[in-house]
Structure 1
Amino acid sequence: MKHLFSPSLMCMDLTKFNEQITILNSRADMYHIDIMDGHFVKNITLSPFFISQLRTVTALPIDAHLMVEKPEDFIDMTAEAGADYISVHAETINRAAFRLIHKIKDHGAKVGIVLNPATPLEWISPYVHLIDKLTIMTVDPGFAGQPFIAEMTKKIRAAKEWRETNHYTYAIEVDGSCNEKTFRTLAEAGNDIFIIGNSGLFDLDENTEIAWNKMKTIFQQQTHLIKMQHPE
């Protein structure tokens, strides 16, 4: 799988929404929308209403990351708003994982499962064959700008090995501190989708087009080092 980039829109400048979305629509692979309820994490960010507005101005896949205590209360409205992926935390769905996974699928959306840093991969073994995307948090959830948790590199490698050994089809995604300092490590470990926020994209330049070009240059330089180290 080629490497994909998913801007985290909680980090964008909402006063420049149209300008930034117009630029990102021709460059990004998908959009990452954080929905927080103030309970699962002590923050409140975007909403299903934001997704419905975004849906009117983009054809890109929209991924709704439900950092909420009761995802069952958000699945219907998020799907109806236009989300293509609905990503729920294993920590919140394991009471009714199969029912909620099938609820997402019944809406025609793809299923994402998210693991907090301290949550082991094995938690999702009963239903991993049903998911489309596995998101590994490399920071504790809830706030942008946290430092990368290096121990998560091992979990990414394990997720890739698990996929290959069992012929699963999920994409591996990393949420948290995807930037110049971590691109190479994450790519080497086997990550497919990079969620890029402040440090990985929006803080690189006030102009979103320049920021994107800087991000891609940095990423290409880092992954080129991998190819030099491990020539085919």
Structure 2
Amino acid sequence: MKLLAPSILSADFYRLGEQIEAVIKGGADLLHFDVMDGHFVPNITFGPVVLESIKKHCNIPLDAHLMIENVDKYIPEFIKAGADMVSIHIENNYHIHRSIELIKSLGAKAGVVINPGTPLSLLEEVLHYVDFVLLMSVNPGFGGQKFIPRSLERLRRLKEMVNAINPKVLIEVDGGIKEENILEVARAGADILVVGSGIFAHQDVQAQTRKLKNLLISSEAL
């Protein structure tokens, strides 16, 4: 089943609760949290307090993408706050296996993230241990960026790697996914599709979420 994960990075924070309710009513499967610290990526977003507040009123899984330094220090805080899925970057985690095992030991699904310019070959060993891989289709740091076309080829190659090494691993794709390309990304092998401005830039957030979810459902019927 293809899963839709709205990214609250693109939400109107003045109306955050209202917009989260809208995407849930629209059929969202997960909520995606882009956590940035201003060091690993050039932006600062939010921490575990925000996630904890949302968890109290949210009945779908919370997916925390940690674009931060010193992840082992913060992984327990995000899981305690309510993260059901936690993903960390392969580029800045020198003991990736230890961090993945930490996430799992605390009861969350563990994922590894790979940036557009990083060779997929670096994932070969870690695929034995993770629950999902997050393939970035933009350079991390800011919402609203354009989908990098080569990401489709990388996604197809990653799908082949996953099928050969650990078919249970889900593939998540984040960056520049909108109504016009969501079907293509889904058909190329994505299991979880993260959408930010492609949902929250629309006036009717609930209707747009429903539209994209229906597109994903149709992709599985083909």
Range of TM-score over shorter length: over 0.9
Whether 2:181 is the aligned partner of 1:182: answer: yes
Tell me how far 1:15 sits from its aligned partner: 1.6
Partner of 2:35: 35
Structure 1 partner of 2:114: 115
Moved more, 180-189 or 28-37: 180-189
Cα deviations by residue, 1:158-208 (Å, 9 ceiling, x for unpaired): 11111222343111111001112321321221111110100x21112x232
The alignment-based identity, stated in percent, is: 36
Quote the offset at 1:129 in angstroms.
1.1
Contact 1:172/1:193 (CA < 8 Å) preserved in 2?
Answer: yes
Residue 104, structure 1, aligned to residue 110, structure 2: no
- Contact conserved, 1:71 with 1:92, CA < 8 A, in 2? no
Q: What is the alpha-carbon distance in structure 1 between the residues aligned to residue 168 and residue 214 of structure 2?
A: 29
Give deviations 1:147-167, integer Å, cap 9, x for gaps: 111111111111111122234
Q: What is the match of residue 4 of structure 2? A: 5
Q: Which one-letter code corresponds to 2:184 in the other structure? A: T
Write the letter of the residue equivalent to 2:28.
Answer: A
1:91 is paired with a residue of what secondary structure? coil
Matching residue of 1:56: 56
* Contact 2:37 2:44 (8 Å CA) reproduced: yes
Counterpart of 2:163 in structure 1 is 164
Aligned twin of 2:201: 203
Question: In the alignment, what sits opposite 1:230?
Answer: none
Question: Which range moves more in the overlay, 17-26 or 71-80?
Answer: 17-26
Gaps of 5+ in 1: 228-232
Aligned counterparts of 1:217 and 1:108: Cα–Cα separation in 2: 31
The AA in structure 1 aligned to 2:65 is: H
Residue 215 of structure 1 deviates from its aligned partner by: 3.1
Shift of 1:219: 5.3
Question: In the alignment, is the contact (CA less than 8 A) between 2:85 and 2:111 conserved in 1?
Answer: yes
In 2, distance between residues paired with 1:146 and 1:106? 34
Change in Cα spacing, 1:217 to 1:96, as seen in structure 2 (3 Å) is: closer
The higher relative CO (CA closer than 8 Å, separation ≥ 6) is in 2
Matched with 1:71 is: 71
- The alpha carbon displacement at 1:17 in A equals 2.2
Q: RMSD of the alignment, in Å? A: 1.8
* CA distance in 2: counterparts of 1:61 and 1:37, whole angstroms: 23
1:217 Cα deviation after fit: 5.4
Q: Give the total of aligned pairs.
A: 221
**1:16-35 correspondence runs (5 A):** 16-26=15-25, 27-35=27-35
Q: Secondary structure in 2 aligned to 1:172?
A: strand
CA contact (8 A) 1:10 1:46 kept: no
| Aligned CA distance change for structure 1 residues 217 and 88 (closer, same or farther; 3 Å) | same
Task: List structure 1 runs of 4+ shifted beyond 6 angstroms.
Answer: none
Amino acid at match of 2:208: A
* C-alpha separation in 1, matches of 2:24 and 2:183: 25
Could you tell me how far 1:220 is from its partner in structure 2?
6.3
Local SS of the residue matching 1:43: coil
Q: Mark the runs of 5 or more structure 2 residues left unpaired by the alignment.
A: none
